[in-house]
Structure 1
Amino acid sequence: MGPSPRGPRPGRERPHVAPGRWEGGCGAVRVSVVIPVYNMARYLPACLDSVLGQEGVEAEVVVVDDGSTDDIQAVIAPYAGRVTYLRTPHQGLPSALNAGVEASGGDAIAFIDADDLLLPQSLLLRARVLQQLPGVGLVFGPALVLDESGRTVGLRKAAPRPGLLPSAQAFRWLLRGCRIPNPTVMARREALADAGPFRQEAFPGEDWHMWLRIASRCDLYCLERPVACYRLHPGSITARYWVEEVDRSHRFTLADVFAHVAPEQRGLEPLARCYLERTLAALAARSGRRRDFLRYLVGALGRRPLLLLEMETWGCLAVGARSLLPAPVLQGLKRVKAPLARRRLRYAFADDSSETVRAAER
């Protein structure tokens, strides 16, 4: 892995992760990939191909069908012998994730939704980190963003800088919101077990709840290069009524997480609740709910005026300003933005990831 653009901070060296192919061998990390699926038969074959085509790691693949109505079993049939297929009554994503973890046998577990893709060497890069850095409980990285047709339209960044995130730093960073692209995550089984199961009360946002619990106990590691593709389509976009659902679930997450953290971390709870108000303001703005946008933002700034010094607050204000624009103007801006984003991606990864970008667009 290359160095961070800013380099390590003085007096702190980034742990070295050796390059090269990971063959397994004595003491190697056994990898399982859990794929929860609900009515995503259209996208599942591409997801499975991207997982089964990984080089350097022979992973166990567990597909959990959460009571789909679009005949996922027929889609799975050509992969018989290469994947484990479970069908459960429809109980929601957290239940499907827990069923997949329980059915898997790996020391490390990667998660990917059925409409997302893994990029080449994704499992190898993450397994290598867990093999060489035993204090790391979870590894993740950036993800390319695809539209419904599979074109690259953006890059979803992860941590502010790649490398090791000590537990205290990772926990404070994650309090700002779930910044980890879900298909890039690989976690140690024992870290998942210590954090407890995925909770239905935390949905939507059960992943944020789990990653916070892990970060309160373990170090995290962020890779520098993209390792997955996150697909945006109408079925994946948060519905307007989810503002209330996110409000409810995220408040549960903060209450539950801070009930179990070390005493020295509990003083961060008021700050975390201000961050949540800011997150809800941005979500309300994207949903066109202007009054809720103002209510949440005023609440956050009223409790912590210093949030105005953070770029994320200005980003939230920009989202709110865009929500005031007429719909035709917004659509025109989106049509201009998409090709510019793809062009920036090609320049950014021209040296070592151009094939990755092209593969994601196919």
Structure 2
Amino acid sequence: MPDQYDKTTISIVIAAYNAAEHLPRAVKSVLAQTIQPNEIIVVDDGSTDNTKQVLEQFGDRIKYIYQNNAGPGAARNTGIQTATSEWISFLDADDEYLPNKLETQLEILARHPDLHWITGNYIRCLCDTQTRVPLRTKDEINQILNGSDTYDDFMQAFTIGVFGWTGTMLIRRNAILKAGMFPTDIYLAEDIDLWLKIAYNHPRIGFAYEPLAIYHMGVQGSLARNKASYADTNNFLSHHLKLAKQHNCEDAFQPCARRILVAWIRSALFDDRVKNVRSAINDFRNLLPPGLYLFFYVLSIFPQLTMKTCLLLSAISRKLRLRKRVWHPTD
């Protein structure tokens, strides 16, 4: 790695809410990095447990900030505003970095110094069974990127579902500020909202093949992972369809909007919110191919068929995904 990147400054922003059980693991994963960040900022979003006390073991290596409960977006924004480094890397208190996270991303930056952000592969840990599943295998990513370590357009990455997640992002602080930071007035995908706003200005993004972090699924007390109402989804899609048009990105964003819509519809069908589904497919009919529109319409008018179909599709998808991608720490 060129010597000039020894001067690259990185702040880690950890948002925490009632996270005493898992927060030490997250902090230790940052301290175990092969290249150390310049500062670690923990923003306590109004915790009522002993989140503050569990940080005492780390002494002055942690910059601790307490604020009244305002949500994950507001907590991360506090960290961004406090940060003094050129680059920001995010981590939620219930997740963890793998040791080479920052080093791997700085190596990509050394090859592409014009990048404004870098993401990468990660491990999904199913907490109840401790099954570890990578987002994609290295061979799959190599095929998707044709051997490159960058996407020309983040929206392409988002559309195919290979864009990392909050815990894999390393972003220039000025790009985050230019995009307006995380929204604090929405309850759907505040992270995706920011990524899209960054992509309108800086579409090119670096991508690491190796897993960078572990996303712990099913952890109690998580800051995020809430179900979204249809009103939230409608507002989100309408807002970004308008923004994409303003940035001349409408064609690129259409597949992203379709992915968001279909993901919400699937979730709503599982929850038996069929009236909302009918509203969604009618309000955003232009985003759905005719066959997919008809499929969702039929499911929305036959509730028993809907549940059986959803359960079957979920079981098949889960079985195939786990069979293909089970990952072991020694691999």
Q: TM-score, normalised by structure 1?
A: 0.73
Q: Per the alignment, do residues 238 and 260 of structure 1 end up closer, same or farther by CA in structure 2, a change over 3 Å counting?
A: same
Aligned to 2:183: 199
Cα distance in 2 for partners of 1:134, 1:165 equals 14
Q: How many residues align?
A: 314
Whether the 8 Å contact between 1:144 and 1:228 is mirrored in structure 2 is yes
Query: Once the 2 structures are TM-superposed, how far is the Cα of residue 194 of structure 1 from its aligned partner?
Result: 1.9
Give secondary structure in 1 for the equivalent of 2:15. Answer: strand
Whether the 8 Å contact between 1:67 and 1:89 is mirrored in structure 2 is yes
Cα distance in 1 for partners of 2:26, 2:177 equals 26
Whether the 8 Å contact between 2:12 and 2:37 is mirrored in structure 1 is no
Cα distance in 2 for partners of 1:163, 1:49 equals 28
RMSD: 3.7
Cα distance in 2 for partners of 1:356, 1:256 equals 46
Structure 2 portions without partners, runs of 5+: none
Give secondary structure in 1 for the equivalent of 2:155. Answer: helix
Give secondary structure in 1 for the equivalent of 2:60. Answer: coil
My pick for the range that moved more, 95-104 or 289-298, is: 289-298
For 1:250-265, list aligned pairs within 5 A. 250-251=236-237, 253-254=239-240, 257-258=243-244, 261=247, 264-265=248-249
Whether the 8 Å contact between 2:14 and 2:42 is mirrored in structure 1 is yes
Instruction: Tell which has more relative contact order, 1 or 2 (C-alpha 8 A, sep 6+).
Output: 2
Query: Once the 2 structures are TM-superposed, how far is the Cα of residue 34 of structure 1 from its aligned partner?
Result: 0.4
Q: Residue 355 in 1 paired to residue 325 in 2?
A: no
Q: Provide Cα deviations, 1:297-325, integer angstroms capped at 9, x if missing partner.
A: 4655x42454758xxx99xx9xx999613
Whether the 8 Å contact between 2:254 and 2:287 is mirrored in structure 1 is no
Q: Residue 324 in 1 paired to residue 310 in 2?
A: no
Give secondary structure in 2 for the equivalent of 1:136. Answer: coil
Aligned to 1:41: 20
Whether the 8 Å contact between 2:94 and 2:219 is mirrored in structure 1 is no
Aligned to 1:121: 100
Aligned to 1:208: 192
Q: Per the alignment, do residues 122 and 307 of structure 1 end up closer, same or farther by CA in structure 2, a change over 3 Å counting?
A: farther
Which among 163, 166, 171 is matched to residue 187 of structure 1? 171
Give secondary structure in 1 for the equivalent of 2:176. Answer: helix
Cα distance in 1 for partners of 2:94, 2:160 equals 26
For 1:45-56, list aligned pairs within 5 A. 45-56=24-35
My pick for the range that moved more, 27-36 or 112-121, is: 27-36
Q: Residue 72 in 1 paired to residue 51 in 2?
A: yes
Give secondary structure in 2 for the equivalent of 1:208. Answer: helix
Query: Once the 2 structures are TM-superposed, how far is the Cα of residue 26 of structure 1 from its aligned partner?
Result: 6.2
Moved >6 Å (runs of 4+): 175-178
Identity %: 21
Cα distance in 1 for partners of 2:183, 2:212 equals 26
Q: Provide Cα deviations, 1:118-138, integer angstroms capped at 9, x if missing partner.
A: 112011111222343122111
Whether the 8 Å contact between 1:117 and 1:230 is mirrored in structure 2 is yes
Structure 1 portions without partners, runs of 5+: 1-21, 358-362
Cα distance in 2 for partners of 1:342, 1:267 equals 33
Query: Once the 2 structures are TM-superposed, how far is the Cα of residue 76 of structure 1 from its aligned partner?
Result: 0.6
Aligned to 2:216: 231
